[in-house]
Amino acid sequence: MASQDSALRALLRPTDTVIVALEAFVVPQPTDPAIGTPVPPLPADVLSDPESVQRASEDARNRRVLAVVSHNDGPNSPEEGSVFVLKARSPGRALEQSDILRVFPVFGDFSVSMAQIRRSTLSLRLSQASSTLISLTITQGDILGRVPLVLCTQQVETLRTVLAECKRLKELVDAPPLASAPPLTTFSWLAPYTARRAPLPSLFALPEDLRVAYTPLHLRLSAAFAGDPGDDASDIVRIRDDWIRTRVREEGSRGKHLLRIRVGSFNVNGSLPSQDLSLWLGTEAAPSIPDQSLVSILNRVEKNPFEAASPLSSVEKTAQMKVVDAEVVSSTDTEGEDDDSGPDLLVLGFQELDLSAEALIYASSTAREDAWCDAVFAALGSRAGRYEKLVSKQLVGILVVAIVRTTMRPCFGEIKSSAAGTGIMGLMGNKGGTALRMHFTPPATDAVKAPAATVLTFVNAHLAAFDEMVERRHADFHELTRRLQFDLGAAAAVPRDGLPSADLNYRVDALDEDVRTILDSEDWAERRFETLLQYDQLKAAVRDKKAFTIFNEGPITHFPTYRFNPGLLKDPLGYDLKRRPAWTDRVLWASNAFARVEQRSYTGHPQITMSDHRPVSAEFTVEINIVDRPAAEAAADKLYRQLKGLEDAHEDTNARVNLKIMNVNVDMGKISYKKTVTQQVAVRNIGRVPCAYRLVPVDDESSIHPDWLTVEPMTALLLPDELVQITLTACIGNDSAARLNVDHKELNCTLILHTVMGKDHFIAVTAEYVPTCFANSLTRLTRLPGPIRSEGTLLTEDRTINAPREVMRLINWMMASDISMENIFVATADEMMVDTIRECLDTGAEFPFKPSPTDEKVPVAFGETLLRLLDSLPEPLVPVDLQQQCVEMTSRDEVFEMLDAFPPVAVNVWISVTAFLNFVCQSSADPEIKTTKIGGEVASHIAYL
Amino acid sequence: MSKQYQFKLVLLGESAVGKSSLVLRFVKDQFDDYRESTIGGAAFLTQTVTLDEQTTVKFEIWDTAGQERYKSLAPMYYRNANCAVVLYDITSSATLEKARSWIRELQRQADPSIVIALCGNKSDLAARRQVTEEEAKKYAEEEGLMWAETSAKSGEGVTEIFTAIGRPGVDLNKQATAQPGQEACNC
Cβ within 8 Å of residue A720, ≥6 positions away? A685, A687, A688, A689, A690
The closest of B170, B159, B140 to B23, measured between CA atoms, is B159
Question: A654 vs B39: CB contact, 8 Å cut-off?
Answer: no
Name the least confident of A125-129, A929-933, B121-125, B167-171: A125-129
Whether the ipTM is more than 0.90: the answer is: no
Residue A383 scores a pLDDT above 80: yes
A679 CB burial (10 A radius; 0-12, 13-18, 19+): middle
Query: Residue A146: what pLDDT?
Result: 57
Q: Residues A294, A299, A300, CA angle at the centre, nearest 5°?
A: 100
Chain A residues lying within 8 Å of B76, measured CB to CB: 225-228, 698-699
Min CA distance, B69 vs chain A (Å)? 9
Q: Are A260 and A345 in contact (CB under 8 A)?
A: yes
More confident residue, B38 or A362: B38
Residue A496 scores a pLDDT above 50: no
Residue A701 scores a pLDDT above 90: no
Averaged pLDDT score across all residues of chain A: 77
Residue A315's pLDDT band (boundaries 50, 70, 90)? very low
Closest CB to B42 among A664, A759, A764: A759
In this structure, the dihedral spanned by the alpha carbons of residues A561, A565, A569 and A571, taken in order and rounded to 10 degrees, is 40
Question: B40 vs A664: CB contact, 8 Å cut-off?
Answer: yes
More confident residue, A1 or B167: B167
Q: Other C-beta atoms within 10 Å of A93: how many?
A: 12
Compare all CA atoms of chain B with the CA of A226 and give the residue at the minimum distance. B76
Question: What angle, rounded to 10 degrees, do the helices at A314-324 and A292-300 form?
Answer: 90
The chain A residues in contact with chain B (CB within 8 A) are 6, 9-10, 14, 225-229, 653-655, 661, 664-665, 698-699, 750, 752, 755, 757-764
CB pairs A-B closer than 8 Å: 66
Closest CB to A762 among B28, B40, B185: B40
Please write the tens of the pLDDT for every residue from A528-540: 777 778 778 888 8
More confident residue, A489 or A577: A577
Closest CB to A654 among B45, B65, B80: B45
Question: B73 vs A653: CB contact, 8 Å cut-off?
Answer: no
More confident residue, A905 or A806: A806
Rounded Cα gap, residues A14 and A271, in angstroms: 60
Chain A residues lying within 8 Å of B1, measured CB to CB: 6
What is the rounded average pLDDT of the residues B135-159? 94
Question: B47 vs A764: CB contact, 8 Å cut-off?
Answer: no
Please write the tens of the pLDDT for every residue from A710-734: 999 999 999 989 999 999 999 999 9
Chain B residues lying within 8 Å of A9, measured CB to CB: 186
Min CA distance, A6 vs chain B (Å)? 7
| Dihedral sign for Cα atoms in the order A228, A230, A236, A239 | negative
Query: Residue A305: what pLDDT?
Result: 32
% of residues, chain A, pLDDT over 70: 75
Rounded Cα gap, residues A596 and A260, in angstroms: 12
What is the rounded average pLDDT of the residues A303-324? 29
Maximum distance among all Cα pairs of chain A, rounded to whole angstroms = 114
Chain A residues lying within 8 Å of B186, measured CB to CB: 6, 9-10
Min CA distance, A717 vs chain B (Å)? 19
Rounded Cα gap, residues B96 and A74, in angstroms: 45
Residue A365 scores a pLDDT above 60: yes
Please write the tens of the pLDDT for every residue from A40-96: 444 556 677 777 787 788 888 888 888 898 887 666 667 888 888 888 766 666 666
Chain B residues lying within 8 Å of A697, measured CB to CB: none
Q: Beta strands of chain B (E only): which ranges?
A: 3-13, 41-52, 55-64, 83-89, 115-121, 146-149, 184-185
Question: B186 vs A9: CB contact, 8 Å cut-off?
Answer: yes
Compare all CA atoms of chain B with the CA of A11 and give the residue at the minimum distance. B187
Compare all CA atoms of chain A with the CA of B78 and give the residue at the minimum distance. A227
Residue A807 scores a pLDDT above 60: yes
Min CA distance, B171 vs chain A (Å)? 22
Question: B40 vs A764: CB contact, 8 Å cut-off?
Answer: yes
Cβ within 8 Å of residue B124, ≥6 positions away? B151, B153, B154, B156
Rounded Cα gap, residues A187 and A791, in angstroms: 60
The chain B residues in contact with chain A (CB within 8 A) are 1, 10, 27-28, 39-47, 62, 65, 69-70, 72-73, 76-80, 185-187
Q: Are B83 and B165 in contact (CB under 8 A)?
A: yes
Rounded Cα gap, residues A374 and A358, in angstroms: 24
Rounded Cα gap, residues A398 and A418, in angstroms: 12
Chain B residues lying within 8 Å of A760, measured CB to CB: 41-42, 44
What is the rounded average pLDDT of the residues B78-86? 93
Rounded Cα gap, residues A582 and A349, in angstroms: 19
Query: Residue A104: what pLDDT?
Result: 82
Residue type, A778: L
Closest CB to A762 among B45, B62, B73: B73
The closest of A262, A255, A250, A203 to A593, measured between CA atoms, is A250
Closest CB to B70 among A653, A654, A750: A750
Min CA distance, A845 vs chain B (Å)? 39
Min CA distance, B168 vs chain A (Å)? 23
Q: Report residue A822: phi and psi, to 5°.
A: -55, -40
Residue B37's pLDDT band (boundaries 50, 70, 90)? confident
Question: A760 vs B42: CB contact, 8 Å cut-off?
Answer: yes
Please state, in angstroms and as integers, the Cα–Cα distance from residue B147 to each residue in B59, B79, B140, following that order.
Answer: 19, 22, 6
Q: Residues A46, A49, A50, CA angle at the centre, nearest 5°?
A: 125
| Dihedral sign for Cα atoms in the order A214, A220, A225, A227 | negative
Closest CB to B76 among A10, A227, A653: A227
